[in-house]
A and B are shown apart, each in its own frame.
Chain A
Amino acid sequence: DAGVIQSPRHEVTEMGQEVTLRCKPISGHNSLFWYRQTMMRGLELLIYFNNNVPIDDSGMPEDRFSAKMPNASFSTLKIQPSEPRDSAVYFCASSFGDRGNNEQFFGPGTRLTVL
């Protein structure tokens, strides 16, 4: 398996532009997570899907952020409009099952820079 795939790996955009980050989870996994990492705040969970349904989006910073999972093999995280403070590394992770003893597999991340 190729692992969790994220695209693009790097994104540089200007303030006000729309940004779409993409994630392909590991085949067979039924849970998907979006995290954000900054120096100031560390790793934060943004949203969690189970069987393509958003379960917890309490970490989504504000209405400018939205996430979708139209099917089991694809998810997007959209920021519209983007702001400089959104600059961070965004990680997608997937796992199978919903018990506390399963393992999450992380993608390589997308480094977003908003100028």
Chain B
Amino acid sequence: GNSVTQMEGPVTLSEEAFLTINCTYTATGYPSLFWYVQYPGEGLQLLLKATKADDKGSNKGFEATYRKETTSFHLEKGSVQVSDSAVYFCALSANTGFQKLVFGTGTRLLVSP
């Protein structure tokens, strides 16, 4: 079946450090890939997405590239801020009719001043 694997957290960084959160997936066909962010006490918000191989999604300084050869969609940001502290979820949609998302377990990011 379809699945998403994310790196264990928490990831603890100092402000302005470089961020990478790893995400790999298993899916049949050609899924769409997503990163969602959850700030404390809130629901999830879509951060970025990519719908086909080699696409790069980007938003708010974050970016991720759809790598079919390595089945990966790693999230990166060149310089994190304290306000980026949140839980980040990688997800896929199998694009086989009804849209259902399969989520990873989430990675908590803590950024200190």
Are these two chains actual partners, yes or no?
no
B-side residues, CB < 8 A to A, are none
**Interface set of A (CB-CB < 8 Å, partner B):** none
